[in-house]
Amino acid sequence: MDITKFAIPEIIFGRGSLNYAGQCALRLGAKKVFLVSDAGIEEAGWVQQLMDILKKEGVEWVYYSGVTSNPRDIEVEEGAKIYLENGADVIIAIGGGSPMDTAKGIAIIASNGGKIRDYEGANRVKRPLPPMMLITTTAGSGSDISQFCIITDVQRAVKMSIITRTLVPNISIIDPLILRTKSRTLIIQSAVDALAHAIEAYVSTIASPFTEMQSLKAIDLIVRYLPCAVESRSLDCLEKLSIAAVSASMAFSNASLGAEHALAHSLGGYFDMRHGVVHPILLTAVMRFNLENAETKLADIGRVILNRKVGLPRDTALAGIEKLDEFFASFKVTQRLREEIGEEEKYLLKPICKMAVNDACNLTNPRPASWQELLKICEEVW
Q: Which CB atom, from 152 or from 211, has the smaller least distance to a copy of itself?
A: 211
CB 144 within 8 A of CB 92: no
Which of 190, 175, 193, 173 has the alpha carbon at shortest distance from 138? 190
| In the complex, least distance from residue 210 CB atom to a copy of itself, rounded to whole angstroms | 7
Residue numbers of the site for a copy of itself (CB under 8 A)? Answer: 1-8, 10-17, 20, 165, 208-210, 213-214, 217, 239, 243, 246-247
| In the complex, least distance from residue 216 CB atom to a copy of itself, rounded to whole angstroms | 9
Beta strand ranges found along 182-226 (DSSP E): none
| In the complex, least distance from residue 104 CB atom to a copy of itself, rounded to whole angstroms | 18
Q: Which CB atom, from 197 or from 279, has the smaller least distance to a copy of itself?
A: 197
| In the complex, least distance from residue 31 CB atom to a copy of itself, rounded to whole angstroms | 17
Q: Which CB atom, from 4 or from 48, has the smaller least distance to a copy of itself?
A: 4
Region for 69 from its dihedrals, namely left if φ exceeds 0, alpha if ψ lies in -120 to 50, beta otherwise: beta
H or E element at residue 275: helix 275-290
Phi and psi for 174 in degrees, rounded to 5? -125, 110
Q: Which CB atom, from 4 or from 296, has the smaller least distance to a copy of itself?
A: 4
Which of 154, 131, 146 has the alpha carbon at shortest distance from 254? 146
| In the complex, least distance from residue 257 CB atom to a copy of itself, rounded to whole angstroms | 20
Distance CA 135, CA 219 (A): 23
Q: Which CB atom, from 152 or from 190, has the smaller least distance to a copy of itself?
A: 190
Query: What one-letter code names the amino acid at 48?
Result: Q
Q: Which CB atom, from 15 or from 115, has the smaller least distance to a copy of itself?
A: 15
Instruction: Write the CA distances from 358 to 120, 163, 373, integer angstroms.
Output: 11, 14, 13
Distance CA 168, CA 170 (A): 7
Phi and psi for 148 in degrees, rounded to 5? -105, 150
| In the complex, least distance from residue 240 CB atom to a copy of itself, rounded to whole angstroms | 8
| In the complex, least distance from residue 204 CB atom to a copy of itself, rounded to whole angstroms | 16
Q: Which CB atom, from 296 or from 372, has the smaller least distance to a copy of itself?
A: 296
